[in-house]
Amino acid sequence: MTTDFDQEAGRTPAEEAASWGPVSTVVIALVLTLMPGVLVGVAAALVVGAEVGSADPERLAVRMEETLSDGDFSGLAIWAGALLGVPLLLVAVRVRGWERRGRMFPFRAVSGRALAGWVAAGAAALVGCDAALRALGRTTTPEVWWSAFATLDHELLLWSAAVLAAPLFEELVFRGFVFDGLSRSRLGAAGSVVVASFVWALEHFDYGVDHLFVVFSLGLLLGAARVRTGSLWTPIIVHALWNVAAVVAAELQVSGLSTS
């Protein structure tokens, strides 16, 4: 059956399926999320290189590591990634078919009861993952988080990046663009949630292996929220609240108030 979107685009279902495959969707998503970070890293390398010079490779490596783990740099990098990534995402959507943007990014209203239910489910999932990591003797907060807060000078910068920029951009890409692109393949909705969660976990490679499983598991819940409520607002809000919890935990660790 031909959908309204297919009719507006003047495409048959076969043409629609052939125009944008699942592999292309995943590759584009990885480019969208990783390329801005790479560009920011290159910019940092140029600045550090100009400051230190190439005469002392060891000092250059130390300064580069310090820069990449600095909290203020991390906040700037997240914001830069979002501000560079969103326009690139819109270009990809334009190529895909601008008339399809409503289905890729469904910002529909969600009832307070439904939202509260998903927030509660998200909190339970986070507590469960935390307990699993503790049982395995692992740190419950990724090293990159507490390292960033240990070197932070402008707290609002990293807070806003973690709670606003990252959840909005990542959900637009993974529960929006990727989910829509994959769900029109043989994967269907359920398979798309799984693959999108896996790719999203890969994008957090700097968290370490332990936390990749956590990110993947939490991604499944975000995907389910997207499917059941039919809105991106639900995963964005749940994701943002998770990041609030992660930021608070990192700050507590840094201040010595946490036993993690």
Whole-model pTM over 0.75: yes
Q: How many CB atoms lie within 10 A of CB 156?
A: 9
Place of tokens 């529909």: 108
Alpha helices in 98-184 (DSSP H): 101-104, 112-135, 143-150, 155-160, 166-171, 179-183
Helices marked H in the chain: 4-9, 13-19, 22-52, 57-69, 71-97, 101-104, 112-135, 143-150, 155-160, 166-171, 179-183, 188-202, 209-229, 233-255
- Token pair for residue 49? 């290189």
Number of other CB atoms surrounding residue 6 within 10 Å:
17
User: From first to last of its 260 residues, what are the pLDDT tens digits of the chain?
Assistant: 333 333 333 444 444 444 467 888 899 999 888 887 788 778 778 777 777 766 667 777 777 778 888 888 889 889 998 999 999 999 989 888 888 889 999 999 999 999 999 999 999 999 999 999 989 888 777 888 888 888 888 889 999 999 999 999 999 999 999 999 898 888 899 999 999 999 999 988 888 888 899 999 999 999 999 999 999 999 999 999 999 998 898 888 888 754 44
Q: Tokens at residue 140, please?
A: 């419950």
